[in-house]
A and B are shown apart, each in its own frame.
Chain A
């Protein structure tokens, strides 16, 4: 079971990042979440979502989703340099450590995230 992304449903509100950050820190920020928008190519209107698991990164790119190994983020070209911070963050634990359903999935108002 993992969090997966329907990238074209995402509108970039960052509520998933806030929910995940709250899960890890009990505070509100965008610096520690296991899920992050990549919105570095703003002028192109290009935006997707990266989810970090223990084994890989799930890249929800608009043109198609894929999983890449943790060391291959830069090679994949996804997110550019702005996506690097996710490599040093905690991997998604599906919010099991809090005994909750995955909070990013629960809060997403556009139903862009799901479990599979």
Chain B
């Protein structure tokens, strides 16, 4: 596939400490996005790999085109699982110069993978061992002299291979409810750092750009979690967060801004950057927030708990469910409680339709029937579009499939994609 992807697949052999680049044939043979990712997993399955990749439109102005993924075998049940790369991580994965990355085996010492502009460096991470995800993100960005690097890292939970572990994207946690963070820990892979200055070509760029612009204009541009809560039948959490809410944040190329930056170490009204270094937390998990709110937690305490979980590299969704049983308010007690999380609770949304999450996990809210929810995940991970946008954002999925031609000169049948996995 000459358009929408650039570069080869990077194969990383952690045991040998070597990397090689091979042709990205899987996109042509199996299809783009997760279809190629699963084919790569099958090809290298004997080496228990983690496969990092992105969807067809990831990194373009198509609405919601933020999505990348990590495929691996979950230590929770031994099944294959997909965890999302949202925010800017999916786009930086796409622009890093590698179409996908397969990480095989385990390293004898802690390492991290630094991908930038088609160059892959496997670097010693001994100095990062024991750091939480905030410290790891800061250290890598400082070492490289670039504050826009996206850092997929594990904290103490991942290093301990805890079933509660999740990888974190920068400071804010992730939708990894399959404990792929523990798989990174088992591989001695402390982090994958991404920075891409690449450029994506399209077969018919003007047609793709104009169509994407029209889709953006027709999509709702909402802020906060109200839409998700309303569709789930859950109480609104925006009002609960409001006293500490600072501003809303979008993922890459998303017209809506679900995530909410809250400040509790300085007044949320402070606009400048001259204040404290760590004023608060970007709340990205509506599900975690709903669990804690329904458990009787105060919003500030709940956000401190989410910060602690993100720092420790603990799955916020399962952790919030476990923490919801006993509301806490003291910061030191919250830190202790987070350290003691075992990942014993099943990951699930506290409200909405009963969904069998399977391969995809509960990152996407159960906003539809089982079939529609699965279809949104399948299409989303192949096309690189956030499935929540497809379910709740009013985006015409059929139109997205039509754009595969101008984007990459391919035809994708929605029904075929829905039957892929």
Which A residues are closer than 8 A to B by beta carbons?
8, 11-15, 18-19, 21-22, 25-31, 39-47, 61-63, 80-82, 103, 106-107, 109-110
Contact = CB atoms under 8 A, between A and B. Distances in A.
Given A41-B273, A46-B273, 7 more contacts: A26-B205, A27-B199, A42-B171, A43-B278, A45-B263, A81-B146, A81-B147
B248 interface: yes
8 contacts: A14-B252, A14-B253, A26-B205, A43-B171, A44-B277, A81-B145, A81-B146, A109-B216
Contacts of B84: none
Contact of A45 (B60, B134, B261): B261
Q: 9 tightest CB-CB pairs across the interface, nearest first?
A: A109-B255, A11-B257, A45-B261, A13-B250, A29-B199, A109-B221, A40-B147, A11-B250, A46-B273
Contacts of A107: 61, 213, 216-217
B202 interface: yes
B275 interface: yes
A29 to B, nearest CB: 4
B280 interface: yes
Interface string B199-230: 11110011001000100110101010000000
Nearest to A25: B199
Contacts of B221: 109-110
B279 interface: yes
Interface residues of B, number: 52
Interface of B: 59-61, 88, 91, 95, 134, 138, 145-148, 170-171, 197-202, 205-206, 209, 213, 216-217, 219, 221, 223, 246-257, 261, 263, 271-273, 275, 277-280, 282
- Binding site secondary structure of chain B: loop
| Of listed B88, B146, B170, B271, residue having the most chain A CB within 10 A | B271
A73 B198 CA distance: 25
A21 to B, nearest CB: 8
A48 B248 CA distance: 13
Given A27-B201, A62-B272, A45 B280 contact: yes
Contacts of A12: 249-250, 257
Contact of B213 (A26, A28, A106): A106
Contacts of B251: 13
A82 to B, nearest CB: 5
Contact of A27 (B138, B147, B200, B213): B200
A62 to B, nearest CB: 4
A41 B201 CA distance: 30
B289 to A, nearest CB: 17
